[in-house]
Amino acid sequence: MKSGTDRISGFPVEPWKITETEYIPEALEKNATIFFLGNGYMGIRGGREEADGSDGASHKGLFVNGFYETAPQIYGESAFGFPDKKQAMLNLPDQTDICFYVNADRFSLCDGEILSYSRTLDLSEGLLLRDIKWRSPSGIIVEYKSTRCVSLVRPHCAVLSVQVRLSESHADIRLVSKSWLKTVSHREDKSDPRTGAGFRHQPLELQDVKDEGSSMSAEFKTLNSGLVFACAAGHQTDENLEFLSCVKGDNSIDFTFTGTGISGFKIDRFITCCTSTDVDKSSPLIRAEKELEDIQNEGADRIISEHREHVAGFWERSDLQIEGDDSLQQGIRFNLFSVYQSAGRDGRRNIAAKGLSGEGYEGHYFWDTEIYVLPFMFYTNPGIAGKLLEYRYSILDAARARAEIMNESGALFPWRTINGEEASAYFPAGTAQYHINADIAYGVQKYVEVSADYDFLITCGAEILFETARMWMSLGFFSPEGDSFFINGVTGPDEYTAIVNNNFFTNIMAANNLEYAVITADFLQKTESGKLGQLRERLKLKVSEIDAWRRAFENMYLPYNAELGIYRQDDAFLLKEIWDFNTTPEDKYPLLLHFHPLVIYRHQVLKQPDVVLAEFLLGNRFPPEQKKRDFDYYNAITTGDSSLAPCVQSIMASELGYSDLAYDYFIKTARMDLDDVNGNVSDGVHIAAMGGTWLSIVCGFAGMRDYNGFLSFNPAIPKRWKSLSFHLKKEAEVLGLRLSQAETEYELLEGFSITFSHKGEEFRLKSGESVVIKN
């Protein structure tokens, strides 16, 4: 007999599917996350159509990426510069509610008898499918099938198709499809800072609502942020159902359909959403209505088939195929697809820490984007990478304003945000993470290097680089002798150590930010001097400032301990007592939920890699022995309490030849959400770790590095895998790789030519050529 926990977490191993094979009420909340669908613009949690929340088992969710409400941020004790507003992605009025009665019995999995059950996320098609056989209390057998599609082709549209067959050929059906007119569900847990935040007020005000036949449209405005959300819904049924009525109440519009003496029916529900945050500034309501008209004209089958084609294209570019481990294969595909579904694509929105799967971390955008998600996008879907960075450019003015509040020049990007304003209420692990500036600059640099999108560099990138460079110059300072540049009072990526002087990660990444700003200025001087001149004039940027950037990165101070031969995480890190891991029981992790921050800050203990991460990102600046010493020291005191940790640990363990360790960390990342490793999937998936899966494979096991625009590989795939295959897009070239235990095959699938190195030896492939190299 399986234990309850096993039943809750178990999905059968299938390389292209995630299937819930049993109806388990305790797993519904978690699985509403796992079964979310999204298209970068909107997302729908996997709530069940027939559940109106009365069984309390799971909360539904309809989100528009970056659509938020604000409320005053309440502090027990405030201080200057603390963000005065909280922002949270809103859970919008649900449009997926469909319930029906067979004679007098309501279709509900809480009553009657479930004869067979499956709910499947089909990753190859990007669809959520339910297939249930149920006996009603009065003995009628109902075969229920539903297909849910959040269109990856049409960002504002979703379709829900329900098909029912009955054992009784003369049953009476009453079906109610509901459009909610208010937000109905929010999830918040005050004891855990990682969950979402509810609002004390009803955040949406209904402005306008229309209904015509079996269609509706409504427009809402958020009370505080002043944003407009419009949705529309419509239905198409087969001849067995007849539209009876539309009843508008205060909270919902109920569309009722009936069928008399029938043996089954089909109903398609069409849903559209538009907002004032869209690029198109025309009326969201009119656009939502127009989108609805368009998709209804196309019909559900066409919408679903064009979506399928799109998903096939995604896999063609992005799949990572593993022969020899279906369980990991399943985890990886789930991760890659979740990231793809969550990433904004219009330059107006980004990718939230929990994607479009839940309200955890309030829908905020963090450094997770640039460091953990963008690499996957650079090499598979570079257009999306460019748009995610364009979003950063769109909040540059807000970042300038934040720098001013923080007494700095240039721009300081918010640690966490939706609208560009800083939203971190706990500054030691929020605002103090100035490294966000360097992370975004790093993202710009890598994007330009991989995709050669120089237009982006000229129109957006250079300004980001110059303004972030300016911030470092005002935050840091030169030693009296002028031979060291210091940066004090910051927090690095490791949030178990806060507000320190000369955090190694921050300093080296700031140096890289400054250096790349200088390189960019030099490059534009040579190639686009006119445009550079205009930009410098607009920013009032003097040549002397650029000279100072050069001096700062050349003299950046990096704390080192000669005795141990390791970089110090910050000036004082090694002076602290080492955390007593031996006497800390398992149930005291994550430490952040069991110890006051001060207790943690006083010790050498890491939530996530800091020095080790820097030595991955900027690995060509450090010799292997140095990386090994640093890894050995810091890995031993890293708890991995952050979901962002294991992928980095895995990559560096791979690089250093610790292959078993690399594999162990990799497993944690690859199936983190499917197995609910951290126990908090109900709040949403862990997007950074999902992007990190791609990094662990491509940069870890395939040993890919891309420094100064040159690709190199150092493959060593896990012993239990037969092979690993994937594609990488670099500028106009697409390189196909197939790695086995014995050899590695490289093939140039698109483009003219590519040069790369394999274990230090250089190769050049021309169009259509391939090479097989013995390992």
Residue 440 interacts with ligand BGC (CB under 6 A): yes or no? no
- The single residue listed with the structure tokens 């995610």 is 388
Residue number with CB closer to ligand BGC (120 or 642): 642
Dist CA 211 CA 723 (whole Å): 56
149 with 42: CB under 8 angstroms?
Answer: no
Shortest Å, Cβ 372 to ligand BGC: 8
Burial of 77 (0-12, 13-18, 19+ CB in 10 A): exposed
Residue 669 interacts with ligand BGC (CB under 6 A): yes or no? no
Residue 442 interacts with ligand BGC (CB under 6 A): yes or no? no
Dist CA 264 CA 285 (whole Å): 34
Residue number with CB closer to ligand BGC (366 or 379): 366
> Taking contact as CB under 6 A, which single stretch among the options 108-116, 281-289, 361-369, 593-601 is the one that binds ligand BGC?
361-369
**Could you say which residues in the range 680-699 bind ligand BGC, by CB under 6 A?**
688
> Taking contact as CB under 6 A, which single stretch among the options 325-333, 364-372, 400-408, 738-746 is the one that binds ligand BGC?
364-372
Q: DSSP letters along 372-417, please?
A: IIHHHHHHH-HHHHHHHHHHHHHTHHHHHHHHHHTT-SS----SSB
Residue type, 428: P
Residue 368 interacts with ligand BGC (CB under 6 A): yes or no? yes
Active site residue 495: yes
Distance of CA 286 to the CA centre of its chain: 30
Residue 668 interacts with ligand BGC (CB under 6 A): yes or no? no
Residue 367 interacts with ligand BGC (CB under 6 A): yes or no? yes
Among 11, 366, 456, 631, binds ligand BGC (CB under 6 A): 366
760 with 752: CB under 8 angstroms?
Answer: no
Residue 553 interacts with ligand BGC (CB under 6 A): yes or no? no
Dist CA 229 CA 233 (whole Å): 14
Interacting residues of 34 by C-beta distance below 8 A, sequence separation 6+: 18, 46, 121, 334, 357, 673, 674, 681, 685
Residue 422 interacts with ligand BGC (CB under 6 A): yes or no? no
> Taking contact as CB under 6 A, which single stretch among the options 225-233, 282-290, 365-373, 538-546 is the one that binds ligand BGC?
365-373
Of 495, 515, 545, 615, the catalytic one is: 495
Residue number with CB closer to ligand BGC (50 or 439): 439
Residue type, 520: T
Shortest Å, Cβ 263 to ligand BGC: 50
Shortest Å, Cβ 592 to ligand BGC: 8
Residue 353 interacts with ligand BGC (CB under 6 A): yes or no? yes
Dist CA 644 CA 343 (whole Å): 18
End-to-end CA distance of the chain: 45
**Total chain residues near ligand BGC (CB under 6 A):** 12
Shortest Å, Cβ 248 to ligand BGC: 41
Residue 607 interacts with ligand BGC (CB under 6 A): yes or no? yes
Among 219, 278, 495, 706, binds ligand BGC (CB under 6 A): 495
Residue number with CB closer to ligand BGC (505 or 726): 505
Residue 642 interacts with ligand BGC (CB under 6 A): yes or no? yes
> Taking contact as CB under 6 A, which single stretch among the options 203-211, 287-295, 359-367, 594-602 is the one that binds ligand BGC?
359-367
Residue number with CB closer to ligand BGC (366 or 726): 366
Q: State the helix-helix crossing angle for 543-554 and 462-475, rounded to 10 degrees.
A: 70
Dist CA 448 CA 369 (whole Å): 16
Residue 365 interacts with ligand BGC (CB under 6 A): yes or no? no
Label each residue of 427-465 as H, E or C: HHHCCCCCHHHHHHHHHHHHHHHHHCCHHHHHHHHHHHH
Shortest Å, Cβ 618 to ligand BGC: 18
Residue type, 1: M
Dist CA 380 CA 734 (whole Å): 9
Q: Which residues bind ligand BGC (CB under 6 A)?
A: 353, 361, 366-368, 493, 495, 607-608, 642, 644, 688
Query: Which amino acids are annotated catalytic?
Result: 495
